[in-house]
Structure 1
Amino acid sequence: MFYNRFTFRLISRLVIINLLGYLLFYLITNTQLWFTIIGVSLILLGSIISLYYYINEIRSDINRFILAVKTRDHTLNFKNKATKGSFPELYQSFGEILQVHKQIRLEQEAMFQLIKTILEQVPVGVIVVNNTATAKEEIAFFNQAATNLLAVPAYKYWHRLKQHIPDFGSEVEQIAKGGKKFLELKIQEKLTLLSTEVIPLNLYGKDYTIISFQNIKDEIEQKETEAWNRLIGVISHEILNSITPISSLSDTLNSMVTDKETLNLDEMEDLKTALQTIKRRSTGLLDFVKDYRLIAELPTPSLESHTIGEILKHIKILMQPFARVKKVLLDVEQTSSKITVKLDLKLIEQVLINLITNSIYAVEDRDNPHISVNYRLENTRVYIDVTDNGKGIEPADLEKIFVPFYTTRKNGSGIGLTISRNIMKMHRGSIEVVSVPNDYTTFSLLFNYI
């Protein structure tokens, strides 16, 4: 009702106080009714005190509401005052705000529990360290996978975990500002290889460090076994291809000279031909072994700063004459680029020579054979692209082209791409390939720019 409203109550109290003040002034100046004067004074004082408490009650409610929001206290209730108070709309808004705040809080808590449950189920160890909580760096989260992988209890403080596994703690602190690292640890007399990543995070003014890690020893062993099987298969195939004719010719020669003291002219010619064949295949087998050693004994890169333009300019000078002889248009672009990358110029030139040479042979039977070499910059990576319009690579061959000694080119050794990929790995980069058969093929050398 209107008489419950703040404005009506305030005005009525002010009117009463003014009337009592005027009456008191009149009684003091015009009469000597002291008992009446005292009574009116007490009533006036009571009205002023009542007005103070009335206004203070509203101020107190507002302070309680603000404090409830700050402390996330959802038990405060203004329902009674929303129906009977002086500010029904205000108290109703207070109640709605507190309810919305409570709902948001419940949703956040539910989301936190969901994320926590997910992190408890994943096979990746996750440790979250609160770097600003205390001087001893409190661990805010330690999932079950981390407990299993490190074979430790869920410690509350980082320094205790570091005391238990000092190698893990020191290695993680080396990449505390962010990064990835492979850690080889001996846990419970068992060798474990952990792929570890550290991500620093500032959240609401607090510094956190997120440490995630997983055991990749089994996966690496499986990949190594697969790689060895493929390599042994290729090596066995090449050796058998060389040994079989040598063995067969040896048997033939043995039958030719057995029980004979002299040979006629025709037999001498056959003997020479057979021996030449044995020598040729033996030389081929020796070359094969040399190629294998070349893959396994690449020199360590000597990293120096070079511009992309310098690299492209050198490769243009090196490969342009060969491309011209093969009647291939070699287009090397952006040779004035000033983007700088740390690399071993000789090794990277060898990679580009391998790629461009492969491209030249790939476009031999094409109309208007064309090869382009340029670079592109994407985020923190630099790509040097070698693109040709040759016959391309079939999807089934894309998985095999980096396997040692595998080749689709006649008279190819099958080690160029293997060596090239190993060189790029030694530069902490990689080789990517995209090919559309009978359309184009692009090999990309990927370098980390920062």
Structure 2
Amino acid sequence: MFYKRFTFRLISRLVLINLLGYLLFYLIKNTQLWFTIIGVSLILLGSIISLYYYINEIRSDIKRFILAVKTRDHTLNFKNKATKGSFPELYESFGEILQVHKQIRLEQEAMFQLIKTILEQVPVGVIVVNNTKTAQDNEEIAFFNQAASNLLGVPAYKYWHRLQQHLPNFANEVDQISSGGKRFLELKIQDKLIQLSTEVIPLNLYGKNYTIISFQNIKDEIEQKETEAWNRLIGVISHEILNSITPISSLSDTINSMVTDKENLDQDEMEDLKTALQTIKRRSAGLLDFVKDYRLIAELPTPNLESHTIGEILKHIKVLMQPFAKVRNVVLDVEQTSSKITIQLDLKLVEQVLINLITNSIYSVEENENPHILVSYRLENTKLYIDVTDNGKGIEPTDLEKIFVPFYTTRKNGSGIGLTISRNIMKMHRGSIEVISTPNEQTTFSLLFNYV
């Protein structure tokens, strides 16, 4: 309908201009009525100017509307023109769009305030740095929550360089993982030692680069886990020592009773004495071996990191473990031995870890009708995994938390230190060991390396 209204007005004005033009032409050609000619000329000029302003008014309103959307100006109002103008539905649409735009803006602001309030309440420190430098060549801090201020013992700085000056150690650790990643660091804040688990996430938002830094004090959690680990370790060590000391103590009492008040022993007593002494010697040797194993865990060499390809590592393992697996009638598949992906590691130590895992898998699948072990690797984001998968008896869920405790073993004649040493080696490589097991179906041990 508004098109018809505009069309009617436009046509009527054009018809009027054409009639005035024709009249003016007729008067100039056939008459000398100069006052009439001047009057018609002025009316014609006024009609043309009126048509121009009529069309230009719409163009101007559209320009104002676009500018209001660009500048997020929600004060612009087209209500009067929506009822009286040539395009009521158009101006009504302009008003609706501005209202929707205003509503979206308010919703975004409300969501921002909600997220900001949540981040202020969580016990995790959060700092967001705008990496676009200001005119003074400084990086502005876009967000600094109260938890971050409390954990670091600093006010909510506006600029990153101020925080760098106050806490250079913290800033340097963050710079080490500026491209993304996690890091553990210890800081002394106001004579109090805190242990921070720190994560950095780079983010590009609307053409601007931001760095999100989140961290939390995990000192209490670490101390609790250490206490639990020590308790489990003490329990295992006490059990092993008591198992050796009890028969030694008992046999010592027996020998003491045999020789007390006697100057000579008969043949049978001499045999019993020899047997008892041999048993004491054997258990003493077992106790010495136990202590040596404990020292082995604590005295691992520092890794000598060198560049090696995954293919090279897997080839070495295949050569080392294939004969042992074959003797046990176990199928050992080592895949992707041609991979050229390179990482920094100590080849000897990592080989030792893989030997431990594959050996455990071989013993695990011994009773299986179709024993099979698969060694492979995979890349996921910035992590590289070397997987050792078998179809053996697996690990019960209750044992998953215990298998890395020193001297804890579910295997007969096992020492219980292989997995402990393996995990320590991976920690020295800034990695870890993960395990997923479904009893009597499949078990996968994964060596996890950081790959950037």
Match of 2:219 in 1: 217
Match of 1:66 in 2: 66
Aligned in 2, Cα 1:12/1:343: closer, same or farther, shift over 3 Å?
A: same
State the 1:137 CA deviation. 1.9
Residue 298 of structure 1 aligns to a residue in which SS?
A: coil
Whether the aligned pair in 1 keeps the contact of 2:79 and 2:92 (CA below 8 Å) is yes
- Structure 2 counterpart of 1:340, which letter? T
Match of 2:349 in 1: 347
Aligned in 2, Cα 1:149/1:377: closer, same or farther, shift over 3 Å?
A: closer
What percent identity do the matched residue pairs reach? 89
Residue 402 of structure 1 aligns to a residue in which SS?
A: coil
Whether the aligned pair in 2 keeps the contact of 1:127 and 1:212 (CA below 8 Å) is yes
* Matching residue within 324, 327, 344 for 2:326: 324
Q: Distance in 2 between matches of 1:172 and 1:184?
A: 13
Residue 392 of structure 2 aligns to a residue in which SS?
A: coil
* Matching residue within 147, 162, 176 for 1:145: 147
* Matching residue within 165, 182, 186 for 1:163: 165
State the 1:3 CA deviation. 11
Aligned in 2, Cα 1:108/1:160: closer, same or farther, shift over 3 Å?
A: same
Residue 131 of structure 1 aligns to a residue in which SS?
A: strand
Deviations along 1:38-95, whole A, 9 cap, x unmatched?
Answer: 3223322322222222222112111110111001111212122122211123212212
CA RMSD for the aligned pairs? 2.3
Q: Distance in 2 between matches of 1:58 and 1:180?
A: 58
Residue 132 of structure 1 aligns to a residue in which SS?
A: strand
61-70 or 182-191, which deviates more: 182-191
Q: Distance in 2 between matches of 1:66 and 1:395?
A: 64
Whether the aligned pair in 1 keeps the contact of 2:2 and 2:86 (CA below 8 Å) is no
State the 1:9 CA deviation. 2.0
State the 1:381 CA deviation. 3.7
Deviations along 1:219-278, whole A, 9 cap, x unmatched?
Answer: 111111111111111111111211222222222222333333333332222222222222
Residue 157 of structure 2 aligns to a residue in which SS?
A: coil
Aligned in 2, Cα 1:366/1:58: closer, same or farther, shift over 3 Å?
A: closer
Whether the aligned pair in 2 keeps the contact of 1:4 and 1:86 (CA below 8 Å) is no
Match of 2:20 in 1: 20
Whether the aligned pair in 2 keeps the contact of 1:383 and 1:445 (CA below 8 Å) is yes
Whether the aligned pair in 2 keeps the contact of 1:5 and 1:85 (CA below 8 Å) is no
State the 1:111 CA deviation. 1.8
State the 1:18 CA deviation. 2.8
Where in structure 2 are the equivalents of 1:153-302 lying within 5 Å? 153-302=155-304
Match of 2:57 in 1: 57
Residue 448 of structure 2 aligns to a residue in which SS?
A: strand
Match of 1:416 in 2: 418
Where in structure 2 are the equivalents of 1:98-109 lying within 5 Å? 98-109=98-109
State the 1:294 CA deviation. 0.8
Match of 1:303 in 2: 305
Aligned in 2, Cα 1:218/1:311: closer, same or farther, shift over 3 Å?
A: same
Q: Distance in 1 between matches of 2:104 and 2:205?
A: 18
Aligned in 2, Cα 1:447/1:152: closer, same or farther, shift over 3 Å?
A: closer
Q: Distance in 1 between matches of 2:79 and 2:114?
A: 33
Deviations along 1:381-415, whole A, 9 cap, x unmatched?
Answer: 44333333332222211211111100111211100
Residue 375 of structure 2 aligns to a residue in which SS?
A: strand
401-410 or 159-168, which deviates more: 159-168
Q: Distance in 2 between matches of 1:347 and 1:68?
A: 66
Aligned in 2, Cα 1:434/1:279: closer, same or farther, shift over 3 Å?
A: same
Whether the aligned pair in 2 keeps the contact of 1:392 and 1:441 (CA below 8 Å) is yes
Deviations along 1:314-369, whole A, 9 cap, x unmatched?
Answer: 22322233333334343434434444333222112211221222222223333343
Q: Distance in 2 between matches of 1:170 and 1:399?
A: 35
Q: Distance in 2 between matches of 1:418 and 1:395?
A: 18
Q: Distance in 1 between matches of 2:294 and 2:142?
A: 51
- Structure 2 counterpart of 1:148, which letter? N
Q: Distance in 1 between matches of 2:380 and 2:446?
A: 13
Q: Distance in 2 between matches of 1:372 and 1:172?
A: 39
Q: Distance in 1 between matches of 2:429 and 2:289?
A: 27
- Structure 2 counterpart of 1:108, which letter? Q
- Structure 1 counterpart of 2:101, which letter? H
Residue 201 of structure 2 aligns to a residue in which SS?
A: strand
Q: Distance in 1 between matches of 2:70 and 2:425?
A: 59
Match of 2:48 in 1: 48
- Structure 2 counterpart of 1:270, which letter? D
Where in structure 2 are the equivalents of 1:84-163 lying within 5 Å? 84-132=84-132, 134=134, 135-163=137-165
State the 1:378 CA deviation. 4.1
- Structure 2 counterpart of 1:295, which letter? I
383-392 or 119-128, which deviates more: 383-392
**Structure 1: where are the runs of 5+ without partners?**
none
Aligned in 2, Cα 1:445/1:133: closer, same or farther, shift over 3 Å?
A: closer
State the 1:2 CA deviation. 7.8
State the 1:133 CA deviation. 5.7
**TM-score with structure 2 length normalisation?**
0.92
Match of 2:82 in 1: 82
Residue 277 of structure 2 aligns to a residue in which SS?
A: helix
Whether the aligned pair in 2 keeps the contact of 1:301 and 1:344 (CA below 8 Å) is yes
Q: Distance in 1 between matches of 2:91 and 2:388?
A: 71
State the 1:200 CA deviation. 1.9
**TM-score with structure 1 length normalisation?**
0.92
